[in-house]
């Protein structure tokens, strides 16, 4: 992987929101990570930790307060040229948590899926577009006759397939999936994650897979970043995070995953993490390399203590 160039480079990203003359929300504070072509980077953290803001900054719905964003070799940090804007709008796509809210209820599924093609003038004829939509419907496990139905005629899982189809038809290099399975039943979650994995194998698209817990992230991500209060507290390969998480917040997330084996589930002890009483100050910490691509945010003293607890 080292010799491959990252598809997306997020470097020291800060995204602040000024909410009043006295107060600024530091939604994202000095976050760095890379996503390589065809891989999945899982971004995990509790509600309000800044996950969606990172997704929106990356796709340039916001202009970063500080730091830099590089996508496929293009600097997309500041005001985008028309060409770069078009490049981002076609090669990066987003899948949202609630497909009912993000799919226009008055439009037929076929029109919804083809929308990006129409906006960007990608397919010349209607017949060509219909053909593409049919092919994509098949790819996401829906039938050709679904083309003339409306979003409300689908189940939650099917609607999310429509959301995926809409993103996929643009043949993007990166798909940002913002809690795209959180609203689905657990059994359906696994189906959608498997579908996304199959699609990735076939198309080579990369994912930024955003979730509030680690349970499904494990099955789709090659690397994981753990976000808390706008700070990336730990990042590494899925193996590194699951076998030797160092940061107490990561450990609390790991201990919250239900175990499929009922005996082990009974033994599971959920660890709590309270930043306010932990004595930890993210602003005083710096990025420490554990090994490989495994980094933890902490002070030298905190690192020493955490490493001693996790030999
Ligand atoms: P997550 O997706 O992890 O739940 P968000 O990125 O939505 O978190 O939000 C992170 C923090 O930034 C929250 O405290 C939220 O209230 C705040 N925030 C997000 N967007 C805005 C905005 N446009 N203006 C002000 N504050 C915002
Ligand atoms: Mg969110």
pLDDT score at 125? 87
- Distance between CA 52 and CA 43 in Å, rounded? 10
Residues in contact with ligand 1 (CB, 6 Å cut-off): 17, 19, 25, 27, 45, 47-53
- Among protein residues, the one with the nearest Cα to ligand 1's atom 21 is 17
Alpha carbon of 47 to ligand 2 centroid (Å):
6
Alpha carbon of 59 to ligand 2 centroid (Å):
14
Q: Which ligand is nearest to the CA of 47?
A: 1
Q: What is the pTM of this model?
A: 0.94
pLDDT score at 3? 60
- Extract the residue ranges of the chain whose pLDDT is less than 70: 1-3, 311
The neighbouring-strand residues paired with 208 are 41, 176
From the CA of 212, give the closest atom in ligand 1.
Answer: 3
| Tens digits of residue pLDDT in 73-112 | 999 999 999 999 999 999 999 998 877 777 889 999 999 9
Sequence-distant (6+) residues with CB within 8 A of 205 are 38, 168, 171, 172, 173, 174, 175, 199
pLDDT score at 1? 52
pLDDT score at 122? 84
Is the separation of the CB atoms in 110 and 148 below 8 Å?
Answer: yes
- Among protein residues, the one with the nearest Cα to ligand 1's atom 6 is 50
State the helix-helix crossing angle for 156-168 and 186-203, rounded to 10 degrees.
20
Q: Which domains does the chain have, with CATH numbers?
A: 8-309 (3.40.50.300)
- Distance between CA 1 and CA 222 in Å, rounded? 11
Query: Which protein residues have their CB within 5 A of the ion that is ligand 2?
Result: 51-52
- Distance between CA 55 and CA 38 in Å, rounded? 18
Among 278, 85, 71, 95, residue whose Cα is nearest residue 179 = 95
For the CA atoms of 77, 203, 149, 187, what is the dihedral angle to 10 degrees? -100
DSSP one-letter code for 81: P
Positive/negative CA dihedral, 51, 53, 297, 9:
positive
């Amino acid at each position: 992987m080292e010799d491959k160039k990252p598809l997306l480079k997020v470097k020291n990203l800060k995204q602040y929101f000024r909410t009043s003359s006295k107060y600024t929300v530091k939604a994202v504070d000095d976050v760095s990570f890379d996503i390589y072509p065809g891989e999945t980077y899982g971004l995990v953290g509790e509600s309000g930790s800044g996950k969606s803001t990172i997704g929106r900054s990356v796709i340039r719905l916001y202009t970063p307060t500080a730091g830099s964003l590089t996508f496929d070799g293009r600097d997309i940090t500041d005001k985008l040229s028309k060409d770069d804007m078009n490049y981002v709008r076609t090669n990066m796509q987003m899948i949202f948590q609630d497909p009912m809210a993000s799919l226009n209820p008055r439009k037929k599924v076929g029109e919804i899926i083809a929308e990006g093609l129409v906006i960007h003038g990608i397919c010349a004829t209607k017949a060509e577009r219909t053909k593409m939509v049919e092919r994509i419907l098949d790819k996401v496990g829906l039938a050709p006759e679904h083309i003339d139905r409306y979003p409300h005629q689908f189940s939650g899982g099917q609607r999310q397939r429509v959301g995926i189809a809409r993103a996929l038809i643009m043949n993007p290099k990166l798909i940002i999936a913002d809690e795209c399975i959180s609203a689905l039943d657990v059994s359906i979650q696994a189906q959608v994650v498997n579908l996304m994995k199959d699609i990735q194998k076939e198309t080579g698209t990369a994912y930024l897979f955003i979730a509030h817990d680690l349970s499904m992230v494990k099955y789709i991500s090659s690397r994981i970043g753990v976000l808390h209060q706008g700070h990336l507290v730990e990042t590494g390969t899925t193996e590194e995070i699951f076998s030797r998480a160092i940061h107490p917040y990561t450990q609390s997330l790991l201990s919250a995953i239900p175990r499929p084996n009922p005996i082990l589930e009974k033994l599971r002890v959920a660890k709590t993490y309270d930043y306010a009483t932990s004595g930890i100050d993210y602003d005083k910490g710096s990025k420490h390399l554990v090994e490989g691509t495994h980094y933890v945010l902490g002070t030298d003293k905190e690192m020493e203590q955490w490493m001693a607890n996790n030999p």
